[in-house]
């Protein structure tokens, strides 16, 4: 580091050789700065107020005009050169320091798998149910609800089920053990919601009712005593079987996409007439025939039909003025078909290894 004595301030201006030597020495000092703090110290020493360079500059005052011009230019060039060297050394050091800091912070993010933000999963049945609800909301339907404990009247009689219909037997439905009065049971289908909706006397009526229903089935791979259904009903002034077929086709497409077709084939239910079984192209084999569809290429999803005139009359709706259709199908069954679930009991085990798949 050049350390010219204070005498030089007053006394003399540097020769061009002295200046060159100073520049070389100063450049080395800048290049030797190991970090930005050292660099700043060097800069102050070389370029600050008390530096040799500043002293020389001050000494210019006493020089001849010729010297002043000549040496002044040389001094400015030296200062500019050193400032540029400091800036460039500063850049180099900044890059290196950032690189070192980054290296010191290096982290393997795959070590960090944490459950702190683990997502919960809705039950598969819930997800399918919400999807169905959204489809019908899009068609302008309301979502209706009804109790799971129903009266015999709502669950059967008002649905035109004859007094000795097999579904009414205690082999098929769960009856409640209550003292007396009305007969109550766990609803064997979501259809009693139809009756509750009709009783509101607000027509026209377009509604779906998803929910849990109960049948006395011994649990096995395909049956559970409790299952989920979605029921739909539309009552308006001029509803026909063609509207039912169109609606079924529409929601089939909404659920399964355009590749899957629906069809209706005659069936019997006491609460609808004409009645139909609602079938869709087998989603597993696309209609070619497989084990799931018993080689028919079709899968039964549910039942539907025009609301029986007796059901309307019993609910106080004039069947000559109003007509309607109703449909119902299993949400669990739909989920099982779509996700290829072999055993329905997986749906009630609540095993996290199952729940977290959906």
Partner 1 sequence: MRVPLSWLKDFVPLPTSPSEEADVAELGRVLSSLGLVFEGAELVGSGLDGVVLAHVVALEPIKGADKIRRVLVDAGGPEPLEIVCGAWNFGLGDVVPLATVGTELPNGMAIGRRTMRGVTSNGMLCSPGELGLPGESSGLLVLSSPGPGAALPAGIEPGRPLAEHLGIVPDAVLDLSIEPNRPDCLSIAGIARDLAARLKLPFVLPEPDVSGLERGEAAEALAAVETRAPSACDRIVGRVLVGLAPIASPPLVARRLILSGMRPLGAVVDASNYAMLELGQPTHPYDLDHLAGGRIVARLARPGEALVTLDGTARVLGRAPNGRGEDIDLIECVIADGNDEVVGLAGVMGGRHSEVSEQTTRVLLESAHFNGLMVGRAAKRRGLRTEASVRFERGVDPEGTRRAADRVIELVAAAARHAGAPVPSLAPGVLEDRPVPAAPVRIELRTERMNALLGTELGAGDAAELLEPIGFSCAPSEQGLVVDVPSFRPDTTAEIDLIEEVARHYGYEQIAPRSRRSPAVGRRSPSQVRRHQVMALLTGLGAHEAWTPSIIDPALEDRLGPAPERVRLTNPIVAEESALRSSVLAGLCAAARHNVAHRNPHLRLFELGAVFEAPPAAGEWPREREELGVLLAEEGDDAAAASGCFERLVEGLRLVRDDLELVQGDELDALGAAGARLVRGMHPTRRAVAWCAGVPLVGFGELDFEVAERFELGERRIGVLVADLGALLAAPERPRIARAVSRFPSSDLDLAFVLDEAVAAERLRRALAAAGGELVESLQLLDVYRGAPLSGGERSLAFRLRMCALDHTLDEAELSAARRRLIEAGEALGARLRA
Give me the residues that bind Zn ion (CB under 5 A), please: 282, 284-285, 290, 292-293
Q: For residue 258, state whether it binds partner 1 (rule: CB under 8 A).
A: no
Check: CB of residue 336 under 8 Å from CB of residue 292.
Answer: no
For residue 49, give Cα distances in angstroms to 4, 16, 237: 15, 22, 99
- Coil/strand/helix, residue 198: helix
Stretch that binds partner 1, among 6-14, 82-90, 144-152, 189-197 (CB under 8 A): 144-152
Stretch that binds partner 1, among 57-65, 104-112, 235-243, 336-344 (CB under 8 A): 235-243
The kind and range of the H/E element at 235 are strand 226-236
Tokens describing residue 46: 């070389």
Please give the Cα distance from 180 to 157 (Å, whole number).
18
With contacts defined by CB under 8 A, how many residues of the chain interact with partner 1? 87
Judged by beta carbon distances under 5 to 8 A according to partner kind, the member of Zn ion, partner 1, none in contact with residue 275 is partner 1
204 upstream amide cis, omega within 30 of 0? yes
Check: CB of residue 262 under 8 Å from CB of residue 279.
Answer: yes
Q: For residue 338, state whether it binds partner 1 (rule: CB under 8 A).
A: no
96-115 residues near partner 1, rule: CB under 8 A:
115
Judged by beta carbon distances under 5 to 8 A according to partner kind, the member of Zn ion, partner 1, none in contact with residue 56 is none
Judged by beta carbon distances under 5 to 8 A according to partner kind, the member of partner 1, Zn ion, none in contact with residue 284 is Zn ion
**Look-up of token digits 């049948």:** 215
Residues 6+ apart with CB under 8 A from 145: 193, 209, 211
C-alpha closest to that of 194 among 250, 153, 232: 232
Q: For residue 187, state whether it binds partner 1 (rule: CB under 8 A).
A: no
Among 36, 250, 253, 290, binds partner 1 (CB under 8 A): 250
9-38 residues near partner 1, rule: CB under 8 A:
none
Among 9, 60, 274, 338, binds partner 1 (CB under 8 A): 274
The kind and range of the H/E element at 116 are none
Among 120, 257, 258, 291, binds partner 1 (CB under 8 A): 120
Please give the Cα distance from 263 to 280 (Å, whole number).
6
Judged by beta carbon distances under 5 to 8 A according to partner kind, the member of Zn ion, partner 1, none in contact with residue 186 is partner 1
Q: Put residue 86 in one of left, alpha, beta given phi > 0 → left and psi -120 to 50 → alpha.
A: alpha
How many Cβ atoms are within 10 Å of 123's Cβ, its own excluded? 16
Stretch that binds partner 1, among 9-17, 91-99, 193-201, 346-354 (CB under 8 A): 346-354
Judged by beta carbon distances under 5 to 8 A according to partner kind, the member of Zn ion, partner 1, none in contact with residue 351 is partner 1
Among 33, 255, 276, 315, binds partner 1 (CB under 8 A): 276
The kind and range of the H/E element at 154 are helix 152-155
Of 28 and 294, nearer to Zn ion (C-beta) is: 294
Give the nearest distance from C-beta 300 to Zn ion in angstroms: 12
Give the nearest distance from C-beta 283 to Zn ion in angstroms: 8
Of 13 and 213, nearer to partner 1 (C-beta) is: 213
Q: For residue 152, state whether it binds partner 1 (rule: CB under 8 A).
A: no
Cα 224 → chain centroid: 30
Please give the Cα distance from 7 to 4 (Å, whole number).
8
Judged by beta carbon distances under 5 to 8 A according to partner kind, the member of Zn ion, partner 1, none in contact with residue 68 is none
Stretch that binds partner 1, among 65-73, 98-106, 242-250, 333-341 (CB under 8 A): 242-250
C-alpha closest to that of 89 among 164, 168, 181, 26: 26
Q: For residue 327, state whether it binds partner 1 (rule: CB under 8 A).
A: no
Q: For residue 126, state whether it binds partner 1 (rule: CB under 8 A).
A: yes
Please give the Cα distance from 136 to 79 (Å, whole number).
80
Judged by beta carbon distances under 5 to 8 A according to partner kind, the member of partner 1, Zn ion, none in contact with residue 282 is Zn ion
Give the nearest distance from C-beta 291 to Zn ion in angstroms: 7
Q: How far apart are the first and last CA of the chain?
A: 73
């Amino acid at each position: 580091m050049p350390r010219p004595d204070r005498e030089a301030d007053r006394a003399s201006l540097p020769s061009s050789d002295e200046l060159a030597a100073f520049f070389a020495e100063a450049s080395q000092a800048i290049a030797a700065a190991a970090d930005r703090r050292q660099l700043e110290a060097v800069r102050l020493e070389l370029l600050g107020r008390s530096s040799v360079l500043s002293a020389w500059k001050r000494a210019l005052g006493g020089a001849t005009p010729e010297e002043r011009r000549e040496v002044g230019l040389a001094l400015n060039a030296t200062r500019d050169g050193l400032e540029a060297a400091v800036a460039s050394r500063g850049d180099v050091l900044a890059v290196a320091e950032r690189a070192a800091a980054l290296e010191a912070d290096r982290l393997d993010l795959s070590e960090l798998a944490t459950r702190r933000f683990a997502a919960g999963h809705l039950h598969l049945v819930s997800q399918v149910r919400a999807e169905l609800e959204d489809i019908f909301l899009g068609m302008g339907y309301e979502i209706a609800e009804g109790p799971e404990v129903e009266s015999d009247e709502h669950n059967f009689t008002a649905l035109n089920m004859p007094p000795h219909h097999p579904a009414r037997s205690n082999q098929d439905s769960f009856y409640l053990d209550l003292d007396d009065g009305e007969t109550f049971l766990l609803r064997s289908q979501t259809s009693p919601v139809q009756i509750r909706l009709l009783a509101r006397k607000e027509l026209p009526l377009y509604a779906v009712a998803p929910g849990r229903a109960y049948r006395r089935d011994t649990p096995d791979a395909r049956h559970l005593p409790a299952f989920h259904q979605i029921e739909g009903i539309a009552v308006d002034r001029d509803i026909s079987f063609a509207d039912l077929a169109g609606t079924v086709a529409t929601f089939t497409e909404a659920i399964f996409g355009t590749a899957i077709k629906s069809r209706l084939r005659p069936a019997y239910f006491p609460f609808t007439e004409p009645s139909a079984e609602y079938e869709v192209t087998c989603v597993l084999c696309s209609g070619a025939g497989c084990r799931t569809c018993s080689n028919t290429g079709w899968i039964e999803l549910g039942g539907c039909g025009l609301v029986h005139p007796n059901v309307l009359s019993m609910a106080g709706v004039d069947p000559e003025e109003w007509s309607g259709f109703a449909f119902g199908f299993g949400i669990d069954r739909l989920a099982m078909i779509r996700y290829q679930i072999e055993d329905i009991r997986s749906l009630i085990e609540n095993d996290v290894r199952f729940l977290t798949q959906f």
